[in-house]
Amino acid sequence: MGAFVHRVPATRNSILLFPLRCPPAQPEPSFTSLASPPGPDLEAAPQPGQFSFETDAEPENDPTMKSLPSESFVGANPASVVSAIARGAVREPRAGFAVFFVLALVAVSGPARAAGPVLAGEAISAAGGDLIVHPINHATLALQWKGLTIYVDPVGGVGRFADLPRPDLILLTDIHGDHLDAATLKAIVSDQTKLVAPPAAAEQLPADLRPRITVLANGQTNTLLGVAIEAVPAYNLAADRQKFHARGRGNGYVLTLGGKRVYLSGDTEDIPEMRALKQIDVAFVCMNLPYTMTVDQAASAVREFKPKIVYPYHCRGSDLEKFQKLVGDDPGIDVRLRDWYKP
Ligand SMILES: [Zn+2]
């Protein structure tokens, strides 16, 4: 097995990609410029009818993380692996066993749901097949499990998603331009794609996308395409930050798929509802000022709810090495620092 699927080592605090520190905060091309100085504000609410394409010009508009060097067979079509064995391209002394194993794996996991390419990324063992994690940029990521492809906050133009399977399910967390981009959504959905959004975000979407939307407010749950989805609160605590994310407007999510519980924080501080989370296997936790929270807050919350794996995301300008150090080794949390802002 090891010859065919190189997993990301499940070591604590693994560091695979550099830089460890998100690039310094920098003025963004204008999503919308409602914000106060010093620069255009990614978090500013879009004007009615204003859904910009400017995100295509973002300097970090790198789509795909196509090659993660230690994971060359993660996401590979099992048939291609069998074919490689048959060609002798994979030198495995017990190739016969390997063929049997791969065929058995296919039999167990069933055919892929998506017609497009299999998502490349980091494999996390789950029931029925690996959960694949594919960071894209800032708050945008893709997940795949048993051929079901999920996008979270897809923004930044269709180019970012050109090499990825089309989404079966899209989760939106909030109304700001780094989370909701109607033009990108319209370009990437298939006829089958379902959308989940909080009420305020659903209202921002154009009419032709609305029939796809399942609206979930904080605390509401639904199961779509076999994925249990719980909308959880995401908001600012600090008085001077509540203007960015008012309580009740945005969603975080807890997804249950393949027996794994995946937490997506959305834009939030270290709210009591986050600290009270239980049995989270994989967490995506935001940290950046002035919009969400400090790395100290994030690390403190993570140490309290103890996800097995945590990916800092939505972390532009944050000192991720400090976050990792503050989480520490003693809780046994695998801190995964990734480059969410590749040039
Ligand atoms: Zn944001």
**Predicted pLDDT of residue 238:** 87
**Continuous segment of H or E residues that includes residue 234:** strand 227-234
CA of 10 to the centre of ligand 1 (A): 29
**Does 46 map to a domain?**
no
Q: Is there a cis peptide before residue 154, judged by omega within 30 degrees of 0?
A: no
**Predicted pLDDT of residue 76:** 39
**Does 172 map to a domain?**
yes
- DSSP designation for 337: B
**Does 49 map to a domain?**
no
**Does 58 map to a domain?**
yes
3-state secondary structure of 251: strand
Taking a 5 Å cut-off on Cβ, the residues next to ion ligand 1 are 178, 267
pTM above 0.75, yes or no: no
CA of 30 to the centre of ligand 1 (A): 14
CA of 21 to the centre of ligand 1 (A): 18
* Structure token pair of residue 110: 């069933």
**Does 9 map to a domain?**
no
CA of 273 to the centre of ligand 1 (A): 19
CA of 138 to the centre of ligand 1 (A): 8
Structural domain for 279, as ranges: 54-335
CA of 277 to the centre of ligand 1 (A): 21
CA of 106 to the centre of ligand 1 (A): 38
**Does 309 map to a domain?**
yes
CA of 332 to the centre of ligand 1 (A): 28
Beta-carbon contacts of residue 68 (< 8 Å; ≥ 6 apart): 8, 16, 17, 74, 120, 121, 122
Taking a C-beta distance cutoff of 8 angstroms, is the pair 269, 299 a contact? no
CA of 287 to the centre of ligand 1 (A): 10
Domain count, the chain: 1
- Mark 151-166 as b/e (b = at least 16 C-beta within 10 Å): bbbbbbbeebbeebbb
**Does 306 map to a domain?**
yes
Taking a C-beta distance cutoff of 8 angstroms, is the pair 120, 6 a contact? no
CA of 17 to the centre of ligand 1 (A): 22
CATH number, residue 153: 3.60.15.10
Going residue by residue through the chain (343 aa), what tens digit of pLDDT does each one get? 333 333 444 444 444 443 344 444 443 333 333 333 333 345 544 433 333 322 322 333 333 333 333 323 333 343 443 343 344 333 444 544 444 544 444 444 444 444 457 999 999 999 999 999 999 999 999 999 999 999 999 999 999 999 999 999 999 999 999 999 999 999 999 999 999 999 999 999 999 999 999 999 999 999 999 999 999 999 999 889 888 999 999 999 999 999 999 999 999 999 999 999 999 999 999 999 999 999 999 999 999 999 999 999 999 999 999 999 999 999 999 999 999 998 7
3-state secondary structure of 136: strand
CA of 179 to the centre of ligand 1 (A): 6
CA of 55 to the centre of ligand 1 (A): 14
**Does 224 map to a domain?**
yes
CA of 165 to the centre of ligand 1 (A): 24
**Predicted pLDDT of residue 93:** 45
